[in-house]
Chains A and B, each alone.
Chain A
Amino acid sequence: AQTVTQSQPEMSVQEAETVTLSCTYDTSENNYYLFWYKQPPSRQMILVIRQEAYKQQNATENRFSVNFQKAAKSFSLKISDSQLGDTAMYFCAFRTETTSGTYKYIFGTGTRLKVLA
């Protein structure tokens, strides 16, 4: 069964510093998509960054970048120049194709990140 594991339940970082959130996953598929979503307190979940497994180049979105290690099935998120607005739950997610040819998304348990002033 496909699983997504986030081993850091909580993390904190000083404003303007860099922090890395870890994610590992398990799959036998070769082509898939990985995502990091952010869920601020009492607000809806939004996409932070996406990585296609067939791309070797790590995805980058402004201050957010990933370190995608396909062989190790690792997908970590690096946040540079952390801002107070980055305080949120961060979920790693994996898109898998089902036996019926549809897609479903599997989420990790999340990492609660707190940015300290």
Chain B
Amino acid sequence: DTGVSQDPRHKITKRGQNVTFRCDPISEHNRLYWYRQTLGQGPEFLTYFQNEAQLEKSRLLSDRFSAERPKGSFSTLEIQRTEQGDSAMYLCASTAFGRHTQYFGPGTRLTVL
């Protein structure tokens, strides 16, 4: 058990570019969450997967955002046509079935210039 990992840890991009982040949850965890955290704030829920099914999406997740979890393993979060307001830390967390505690990854810090 190596914990939740995220890649890349940092991403700097220019406005209008597309970016993709990856999250690898703890291997036996079937639930996966994406959050966005801006400076001085708590994590804000973006989306939730149970296995490969995306069961919940926040209204924060505009049509420029898309997330996938093929085969119920790793997940990707893509942001198209990035805007400066997308600059934030993107956190991934996973939970085992029947459990209540989330385990967080280190996050991907996105800076949009």
Contact = CB atoms under 8 A, between A and B. Distances in A.
B70 interface: no
Interface string A91-114: 101010010101111111110000
Contacts of A4: 42
Contacts of B40: 109-110
Interface string A16-57: 000000000000000001010100000111110010100000
A47 B101 contact: yes
A33 to B, nearest CB: 5
B99 to A, nearest CB: 10
A35 B45 contact: no
Given A102-B55, A110-B42, A44 B106 contact: yes
Contacts of B44: 107
B104 A109 contact: no
B56 A104 contact: yes
Given A98-B56, A100-B56, A102-B56, A46 B104 contact: yes
A4 B43 CA distance: 12
Interface in B82-113: 91, 100-107
Interface in B20-78: 31, 33, 40-45, 48, 50, 55-56
Contacts of B91: 45
Nearest to A91: B42
Given A91-B43, A110-B40, A35 B101 contact: yes
- 9 closest cross-chain pairs (CB), A and B: A107-B42, A45-B104, A44-B106, A102-B55, A33-B100, A107-B43, A91-B42, A104-B45, A102-B56
10 contacts: A46-B104, A47-B102, A52-B100, A91-B42, A102-B48, A102-B56, A104-B56, A105-B102, A108-B42, A109-B42
Given A91-B42, A93-B42, A104-B56, 14 more contacts: A35-B102, A37-B104, A44-B104, A44-B106, A45-B43, A45-B104, A47-B103, A50-B100, A103-B48, A105-B33, A105-B102, A107-B44, A108-B42, A109-B40
